[in-house]
């Protein structure tokens, strides 16, 4: 059975929030919108975001690193949010494994959000229903779009190409190959939810900045040399 999912490269993600922004822009006017905002330009903005970027600092100065973790619904193969829903509003599609919410049946009890160990459900205070990532289901099946555009909005917009989409059960899909070739992993495997979304691990790389800057083909070469000699 097919299982559509995202594969996110943590080694490439730069935390630019382009994926979150494009997700918001597309979905607020698409089939599963709108995504409400409250006081967006104020001191304490709130709202519904299908995709959020968590940024962490690790280590102690000067040996520090910044780590970005994009997080959205993981479309778990054993999704705990589905059986707890008293109305059946939260359901998992058999044909592609995508987990969705039927707004007409949702009563806003929030049981699904409490059962999600990843905190990936978003309660819309304006509509009083639970919302979440749909993998842009209205895009990926839209035959009026060119085949290369039938992907989630977050995948299409990533400038670092850190996001991939496909059937993780299909050996011919890019998502499947990435997981196998790059040792993809899932969040909290001990929870028994079998998340469909996978992450590709970070690798540590040491770069000597001077070797890259002190090159004659660097447009800033003379400025770098000047600063090195002057001590600025």
Among 24, 22, 49, 76, CA closest to 197:
76
How high is the pLDDT of residue 23?
96
- Average pLDDT of the chain is 91
> pLDDT confidence of 7, banded at 50, 70, 90?
very high
Q: How many CB atoms lie under 10 A from the CB of residue 209?
A: 8
Determine the 3-state secondary structure of 41 from DSSP: coil
The predicted model gives 185-214 an average pLDDT of 84
pLDDT tens, residue by residue, 35-87: 999 998 998 889 999 999 999 998 888 888 899 999 999 999 999 999 999 99
> pLDDT confidence of 28, banded at 50, 70, 90?
very high
> pLDDT confidence of 209, banded at 50, 70, 90?
low
Walk me through the domains of the chain, giving residue ranges and CATH numbers: 4-200 (3.30.70.20)
How high is the pLDDT of residue 201?
95
The predicted model gives 177-196 an average pLDDT of 96
Tell me the C-alpha distance between 87 and 232, whole Å.
66
Higher per-residue pLDDT: 209 or 176: 176
The predicted model gives 133-145 an average pLDDT of 96
> pLDDT confidence of 232, banded at 50, 70, 90?
very low
Tell me the C-alpha distance between 156 and 6, whole Å.
12
pLDDT tens, residue by residue, 98-110: 999 999 999 999 9
> pLDDT confidence of 230, banded at 50, 70, 90?
very low
> pLDDT confidence of 215, banded at 50, 70, 90?
low
């Amino acid at each position: 059975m097919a299982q559509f999912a995202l594969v996110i490269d943590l080694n490439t993600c730069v935390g630019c929030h382009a994926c979150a922004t494009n997700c918001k822009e597309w979905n607020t006017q698409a089939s599963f919108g709108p995504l409400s905002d409250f006081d967006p330009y104020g001191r304490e903005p709130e709202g519904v975001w299908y995709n959020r970027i968590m940024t962490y600092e690790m280590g102690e100065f000067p040996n520090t690193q910044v780590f970005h973790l994009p997080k959205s619904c993981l479309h778990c193969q054993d999704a705990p949010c589905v059986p707890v829903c008293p109305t059946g509003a939260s359901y998992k599609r058999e044909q592609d494994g995508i987990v969705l919410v039927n707004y007409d049946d949702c009563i806003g009890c929030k049981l699904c959000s409490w059962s999600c160990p990843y905190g990936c459900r978003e309660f819309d205070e304006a509509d009083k229903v639970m919302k979440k990532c749909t993998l842009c289901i209205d895009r990926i099946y839209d035959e009026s779009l060119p085949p290369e555009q039938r992907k989630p909005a977050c995948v299409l917009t990533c400038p670092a190409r850190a996001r991939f989409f496909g059937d993780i059960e299909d050996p011919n899909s890019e998502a499947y190959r990435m997981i196998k070739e790059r040792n993809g992993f899932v969040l909290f495997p001990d929870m028994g939810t079998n998340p469909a979304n996978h992450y590709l691990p970070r690798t540590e790389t040491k770069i000597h900045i001077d070797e890259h800057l002190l090159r004659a083909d660097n447009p800033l070469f003379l400025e770098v040399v000047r600063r090195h000699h002057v001590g600025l």
